[in-house]
Amino acid sequence: MMLRRVIGGVLLSLMLLGTMPALAAGPLDLVPENASVVLRFKTPEQTIVKVGNYVNNGVPGVGFLIQGQAPAMGVLISNPTLGGVDLKQDWYVATFVQKNAQPQVVFIIPTTDDKALEEAVGENFSFVTHDKWVAYSQDEAAIELVKACKEGKSKSIAAGLDKRATDLCENSELSAYLNLVQLREIYAEEFEEADEKLNEGIEAIKNLTAGAAAQNPGMNLDAVWDFYGKLGHALIQGARDSQSFTIGVQVTDQNLALEELFLVKKGTKSDLLLQKNEPDELRVLTKLPQDQLGYFALHGDTKGMIKSAMELASSMFGENADAKAKVDKFSAEMKDLKYGSIGGSFGLAAPSPEGVITGIIVTEVTPAAKMLKLSREMSSGYKLEIPGIKQEITVKEGAEKIGDASIDLIKVKQEISEEADPLQIQKHVMEVVYGKDGVTQRLTTVNDHVVQTVGGGSDLMKTAIDSVKAASSTPTSPVAGSRSRQLAKANLIGMVDIPNFAVKAMLIANDVAGKDDIPPLPIPLPVNQLKGLKIAPNFVTFAVGTEPEGLRLRTEVPAATVMGFYKIFQTMQAAQRQPRQ
């Protein structure tokens, strides 16, 4: 008896399920699987407040103007009065790309009153209503696709979404999902011809540069174009292997972030290439001074990248047998090196014999002493002469001593002929940036690190050595704070304090203008005001990181950066008004 009741209950449940609508009450279930692009606007009422708060923290007062324009958002969904629209729920727009035709657009909007919404939108649209959602479009064929989804006659896009893409959309105030599989089908003919057209383009470039190549028998320029051709074919292959691309804009009161997710099919060439470059926490950033204007860190298949670069360099030297032999020797010996991450920082200094650009590069490598030796050998005796440019590198081993560290000094001298630089503009710029004697580099080793500096004199190298030995940054430092908001593991991170960089660059430009044949600035700068301008250190950051079958990119712009530029603008504006007063 009990078994009979259980079986009966199951049969009754199945019968009831069969009479229920096939569609769950979700907006994405109204979007057909062949939609090319799906846009999502998260809870507009809250999002417009967040955007206004962010802008207010960058330019006080302007955010209120943005928040006051909320009713105008109705224009974006062909409902200018927002009649019947629920601003507390997400909005969606599905687009169907058509080859050689205008795309079809379907709005999927939450409603407080579906009849009021239909009346506000107008009779030029066709409608499908489901629960508290209304889909409408001026294209009847697109609405028929939506109806088929509602009635369970065709699949919706919801079932095929990768969870990572869904999560990115959920965590973003504004997001877009691109169905690359469907787009690739639409433009299948173009994809078939892509490789051939790229090859034709590379051959055309070779023909155009044949004259320059003939004048430089020691340089094989065709190798450069072949290298770019390989990169182009890799990008085409990535497009063929692609599944989807999702982009999301995330807004808080203090930060605006743009995050992108590119997914490829598992086991494809693109997937295997991505997995060869595993991401890392990039702790090498903690081994750099924490008061610089910019930073970068890199991790991945470093040995593979260096191998590719050496193969390119070897093929470029053409008939220059000595240079080719040196590159091949370096390539062979670097196989025994084990690489970690590479990190660097840069800043600006007052004009000096070593220029205004200062930089530090720290490479995690074992054994570091061998890497230093190979770098020294690779640079020694290097000379390059092509029409208009001469370049020479000199190396002095153990030229300086800092504590117990022996420092190699490397000079890169470049001369540009008057024919190539008749106004001597490039010459003056190079002298200001790097110094009149050329680029000055210093190299040494600290434990399992090769430490390199550009400019800054011996003092900068001492700072770099001390930083590597200390290898720590306070959790509250601007650098650490900006890093903590980025991808936890990444292959590349970049950080730039743009407002403070801009102020220092203007002050340096003012110092060198009008001297040594450098023309004066077109407008005078308020030097004293700029020197007294206080802008808290802040960084625009970007990061790139691989993950299973995917690549993720994230860019963050703090409101403090906007505020920094606003302060510069106010300072410049006040200085312009002062003479008139």
Could you read off the pLDDT tens digit of each residue along the chain, which spans 581 residues? 333 433 344 333 333 333 333 333 478 889 999 999 999 999 999 999 999 999 999 999 998 988 888 788 899 999 999 999 999 999 999 999 998 889 999 999 999 999 999 999 999 999 999 889 999 999 999 999 999 999 889 999 988 899 999 999 999 999 999 999 999 999 999 988 999 999 999 999 888 877 665 666 666 778 888 888 999 999 999 999 999 999 999 999 999 999 999 999 999 999 999 999 999 999 999 999 999 999 999 999 888 888 888 777 777 776 667 777 777 888 888 888 999 999 999 999 988 889 999 999 999 999 999 999 988 888 887 777 777 788 889 999 999 999 999 999 999 998 888 887 787 778 888 888 898 888 999 999 999 999 999 999 999 999 999 999 986 656 678 999 999 999 999 999 999 999 999 999 999 998 888 777 677 777 888 999 999 999 999 999 999 999 999 999 999 999 999 999 999 999 998 887 765 44
Cα–Cα distances (Å) from 484 to 146, 280, 285, 293, 481, in that order, read: 43, 14, 12, 18, 5
Any idea where the domains of the chain sit in the sequence? 20-160, 276-580
Provide the 10 A C-beta neighbour count for residue 260. Answer: 16
Task: At 56, give phi and psi (nearest 5°).
Answer: -60, -35
Nearest of 154, 165, 136 to residue 37 by alpha carbon: 165
Residue labelled with tokens 């210093």: 442
Q: What Rg value do the Cα atoms of the chain yield, rounded?
A: 30
Give the per-residue pLDDT at 462.
Answer: 96
Residue labelled with tokens 């020691």: 218
Three-state secondary structure string covering 19-83 = HCCCCCCCHHHHCECCCCEEEEECCHHHHHHHHHHHHHHHCCCHHHHHHCCHHHHHHHHCCCCCC
Task: Record the tokens describing residue 462, joined without a space.
Answer: 């001492």
Cα–Cα distances (Å) from 512 to 264, 516, 576, in that order, read: 51, 8, 22
Nearest 5°: CA angle at 275, between 274 and 276? Answer: 90
Question: What CA–CA distance (Å, rounded) separates 295 from 573?
Answer: 31
Task: Record the tokens describing residue 504, joined without a space.
Answer: 């220092």
Peptide bond into 367 cis (omega under 30): yes
Q: Could you give the dihedral angle defined by the CA atoms of residues 277, 283, 288 and 289, in that order, rounded to the nearest 10 degrees?
A: 140
> What's this model's pTM, rounded to 2 decimal places?
0.88
Contacts of 199 (CB under 8 A, 6+ apart): 229
Task: Record the tokens describing residue 123, joined without a space.
Answer: 């009779």
Give the per-residue pLDDT at 66.
Answer: 87
Task: Record the tokens describing residue 405, joined without a space.
Answer: 């560290």
How does DSSP assign 416-431, residue by residue? Answer: E-TTT-TT-HHHHHHH
Task: Record the tokens describing residue 332, joined without a space.
Answer: 């062979």
State in Å, rounded, how far the first CA of the chain is from the last one. 100
